[in-house]
Amino acid sequence: MTLVDTATGEMVNQPTYGEVKDSIRRAKDSLEAAAEQIVWQIERQAWTVLGYSSWNEMREAEYGGAAFMVPKAERPELVARMRSQGLTNVEIAETAGISEPTVRRDLAASQSSNDDSACDLPAPTITNSRGQQRPTSYTPRAPKPSVAPTIEDAVREFPDLAYYAETDPSRTLMMADDLRRYRELGELDERLDNLRRAIAVDRAKRDGTYRPGTTAVMSESGVYEMQPIPAPVVTTRTCPTCSGRGVIEE
């Protein structure tokens, strides 16, 4: 099987069983060589030679899950080489003994270095398990600045709230949030009707025209006015089980 050496771009043959085991021995014997040997094993998919299903499985079996030490100056390049082989940021972090945010910073540093030296080259990509091409590193998007809601916005959206805007701004903003939720639920008209009734009652109490036994009712002109609460309608019928001796009120 022929592979591409990502460090040189040259075609290389897949190593033999003995070469892989010798690489593992050299990595264990020398911390200085460990980093390069580990990346060499990853780039040549050494786990397939030894019969493992993945790099993680091989790392657990051959190295006891231990991470290797990487010189800080060389780390961005080695991290980028591992990423180019399809390892996730988490797998790289566990392999190199660093945090995932550090992996992201190293990838960004490596990408920046590549951009400076070869700005006309296309961004390097990897192919994920679903066959999709993805960049080896990502530049986080800056979060959109949050815009605090204003009283003017609330009144513009729901004009009835102008009644509360000057005297109780915080309540106005909360009521606007509630009305938006009711709009999403398809209940806005009903809630606006209740709001207008409440405003009419409160206005009547403030100007002294409110009387017990009255409520706000929309007139023919579309204005909510205080009117007496209609008396309940009582109907009577003969009790079907008491031979006409009593009536039932409903």
- Phi, psi for 36 (deg, rounded to 5): -65, -35
pLDDT in tens, 80-99: 888 888 889 888 888 888 88
- CB contact set of 222 (below 8 Å; sequence gap of 6+): none
Rounded to two decimals, the pTM is 0.39
Calpha distance 3→231 (Å, rounded): 91
Helix (H) / strand (E) containing 100: helix 100-117
pLDDT in tens, 208-220: 888 888 888 888 7
Better-predicted residue by pLDDT, 66 or 183 = 183
pLDDT in tens, 119-164: 555 555 666 555 555 565 555 555 555 566 788 999 999 999 999 9
Side chain identity at 166, as an amino acid letter? E
Name 4's bridge partners.
11
Which single residue is written with the structure tokens 């591992």?
82
Helix (H) / strand (E) containing 225: strand 224-228
pLDDT reported for residue 30: 63
